[in-house]
């Protein structure tokens, strides 16, 4: 579900930027598997497992084709978008949470240095890396850097569950992380929370 | 020849974006060896062989210097460009085909998971990765994502020759890939083929 | 000191681009540890040592918080900037020189191919990689590609000290590199040196 939601967002950005079918498929793939790819390269797992797993590829490609067809057929109107946006948000948030968890697990299997830093970092990178690669390829400022509580939900979930990991074990950690990420993300969406923006001084 | 053509395209983009000599050399290098570098990092070959091979570096640097000098001397006019553009396209297409083949060979030497996915992916990444890095550094939307049959030629060539690999052996695969990529690319240039662009709905 | 100066530049770019607090921290971190991260991935040191070292992270985060607070409090005026700019340049140049040296040391510990190419490349990549990642994330053309003698100072220092390495030993190499980088950078700042820009022909 997470893979599909991420592929949908990649394909939509690509179409809005007027890319061709190849670009749409590349962006859908990159958004879906890019975070996991960066995580594996950083963790020294080469070739990255995501590049050896054909299921994700086929899913992302089918999604890209479906989104392209829906757009071209004119079925994506502003109203339609608002109707499906909650469905999309649910899939996307589940993706965010599960990608955070897989990233943390990869980090926990390494024994270097600080026991909290690497799992938390890899968790957040897995969750938001695909979206950042998508935005860089599409020449947009990465959305996670200025908007919404998104990466922050992933970060808080990873941090808290990682700190409590010695007391609650692996399944407890995964569930705790899932609950925190989903809870924070939906609270933020529902109440319209945003992070503080430091303002450039107007008298500069 | 491929390295030189890729370096020329990097240097030209850099000059058009008004970079200094350092920037021109970096973009020429990155376009020429960037695809191979990304391939090696993904395949776990570190340090990447392209970073240990001085020939490519010297070639790319000489090319960058030559292109800079031609531009500054005013020898690159619109008419001159049209005269040499076929020569450039021939070198570029040969580069595209040979980079695809080297990427596939790297992928075939790994034994993980699906036997077709990794060679095809690494072939395409080697072929177009340098150009994508060049465009990202130069703040342009990556050209392969919205224009021409370029990455698609590499993809089709890699896919078909990879599927037929068990029947035709290594040399057969390399030649088949070369013929398909060059044939597709020149047909596309000659007949002006483009990929389908999914259109954003105008009533959004 | 280098880490702090690099984090300051990342945080300032992020604030100017109106990112939120998460974005400011990410850019500060990426600028400070990004070059070392790319170096380690290219050299096959995974997970990168910079991702396992909490000191740099805490430093970069505190710096990001401090810069955000100074901006929001309106203490960063144009005049203030000019007053502290020399302090910033000193820290930044020391960072440039020491990052170049650590990159070269990583390159020297590998035994592949040409003995000069890899250390020089990794030195320059460590020194300027963080700044390039910062600019790509902030949707700016990487500053090192078109402005100032910055990467060039790192390159010249790395090249000369690497060529003389067999005669002067490791400490001599590090000091020589430091002196050359700092000397070149400050001369360039003081005398306003810039690299030659090849001009696109106006009659194109």
Task: Output the six-digit token pair for B58.
Answer: 């010297």
Q: Does B139 touch chain A (CB under 8 A)?
A: yes
CA-to-CA separations, B170 to B103, B123, B161, in angstroms, rounded: 13, 14, 10
- The 10s digit of each residue's pLDDT in C148-175 is 788 888 999 999 988 888 888 888 889 9
Dist CA A132 CA A140 (whole Å): 9
Q: Which residue has the higher pLDDT, B163 or A146?
A: B163
- The 10s digit of each residue's pLDDT in C129-152 is 988 999 999 888 888 888 778 888
C82 exposure class (CB count in 10 Å sphere: 0-12, 13-18, 19+):
exposed
- Mean pLDDT taken over chain B: 83
B78-108 vs B151-163: helix axis angle to the nearest 10? 30
**Pick among A12, A21, A38, A51 to test the B interface (most B CBs inside 10 A):** A51
- To the nearest whole percent, how much of chain C has pLDDT over 70? 89
**Pick among C17, C47, C54, C76 to test the A interface (most A CBs inside 10 A):** C47
Sign of CA dihedral B136, B141, B144, B148: negative
Task: Output the six-digit token pair for B30.
Answer: 């990155």
Which one of B44, B144, B198 has the shortest CB-CB distance to A46?
B44
Name the minimum distance, in Å, from the CA of B37 to any CA of chain A: 13
Ranking B109-113, B141-145, B194-198, C8-12 by mean pLDDT, the lowest is B109-113
Please count the other Cβ atoms lying within 10 Å of the Cβ belonging to residue C87: 10
- The 10s digit of each residue's pLDDT in B10-39 is 888 888 888 888 888 899 999 988 888 999
Dist CA B14 CA B8 (whole Å): 10
Task: Output the six-digit token pair for A120.
Answer: 């938390």
User: A184, A160 in Cβ contact below 8 A?
Assistant: no
User: CB distance B41–C43 less than 8 Å?
Assistant: no
User: CB distance B137–C132 less than 8 Å?
Assistant: yes
**Pick among A31, A40, A52 to test the B interface (most B CBs inside 10 A):** A52
Q: Does B47 touch chain C (CB under 8 A)?
A: yes
Statement: residue C76 has pLDDT above 80: no
Q: Does B199 touch chain A (CB under 8 A)?
A: yes
Which one of C41, C118, C136 has the shortest CB-CB distance to B52?
C118
pLDDT for residue C203: 44
Residue ranges per structural domain of chain A: 2-191
Q: Does B83 touch chain C (CB under 8 A)?
A: no
Phi then psi for residue C76, to 5 deg, are: -100, 90
The helix/strand/coil state of B116 is coil
Q: How many CB pairs below 8 A link A and C?
A: 101
pLDDT for residue C1: 67
Dist CA C147 CA C159 (whole Å): 21
Closest to A103 (Cα-Cα) out of A40, A60, A160: A40
Which one of C113, C200, C203 has the shortest CB-CB distance to B53?
C113
Statement: residue B201 has pLDDT above 70: no
B49: chain C residues, CB-CB within 8 Å: 112-113
CA-to-CA separations, C37 to A164, B39, B195, C43, in angstroms, rounded: 28, 18, 37, 10
B43: chain C residues, CB-CB within 8 Å: none
User: CB distance C26–A145 less than 8 Å?
Assistant: yes
Low-confidence stretches of chain A (pLDDT < 70) are 1, 74-84, 111-114, 199-204
User: CB distance A14–B145 less than 8 Å?
Assistant: yes
Q: State the ipTM, two decimals.
A: 0.84
Ranking A79-83, B38-42, B64-68, C178-182 by mean pLDDT, the lowest is A79-83
Dist CA C175 CA B132 (whole Å): 38
pLDDT for residue B124: 92
Which one of A16, A23, A54 has the shortest CB-CB distance to B145?
A23
C203: chain B residues, CB-CB within 8 Å: 74, 77-78
DSSP B67-112: HHHHHHTT---HHHHHHHHHHHHHHHHHHHHHHHHHHHHHHHT--S
Which one of B110, B112, B146 has the shortest CB-CB distance to A19?
B146
- The 10s digit of each residue's pLDDT in C23-35 is 888 899 999 888 8
- The 10s digit of each residue's pLDDT in B124-144 is 999 999 889 999 998 888 888
Name the minimum distance, in Å, from the CA of B74 to any CA of chain A: 31
Dist CA C2 CA C91 (whole Å): 6
C69: chain A residues, CB-CB within 8 Å: 198
**Pick among B145, B148, B185, B203 to test the A interface (most A CBs inside 10 A):** B145
- Alpha helix positions (H), chain C: 2-16, 21-43, 54-72, 78-108, 117-137, 151-163, 165-191
């Amino acid at each position: 579900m997470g893979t599909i939601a991420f592929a949908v967002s990649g394909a939509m950005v690509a179409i809005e930027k007027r890319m061709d079918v190849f670009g749409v498929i590349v962006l859908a793939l990159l958004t879906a598997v890019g975070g996991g790819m960066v995580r594996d390269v950083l963790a020294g797992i080469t070739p990255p497992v995501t590049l050896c797993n054909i299921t994700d590829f086929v899913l992302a490609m089918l999604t890209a084709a479906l989104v392209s067809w829906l757009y071209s057929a004119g079925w994506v109107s502003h109203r339609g978008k608002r109707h499906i946006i909650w469905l999309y948000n649910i899939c996307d948030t589940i993706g965010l949470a599960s990608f955070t968890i897989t990233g943390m697990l990869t980090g926990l299997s390494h024994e270097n240095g600080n026991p909290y830093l690497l799992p938390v970092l890899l968790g957040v990178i897995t969750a938001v890396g695909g979206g950042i690669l998508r935005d860089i390829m599409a020449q947009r400022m990465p959305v996670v850097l200025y908007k919404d509580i998104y990466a922050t939900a992933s970060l808080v979930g990873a941090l808290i569950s990682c700190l409590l990991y010695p007391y609650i074990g692996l399944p407890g950690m995964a569930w705790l992380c899932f609950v925190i990420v989903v809870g924070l993300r939906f609270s933020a969406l529902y109440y319209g929370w945003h992070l503080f923006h430091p303002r450039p001084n107007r008298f500069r």
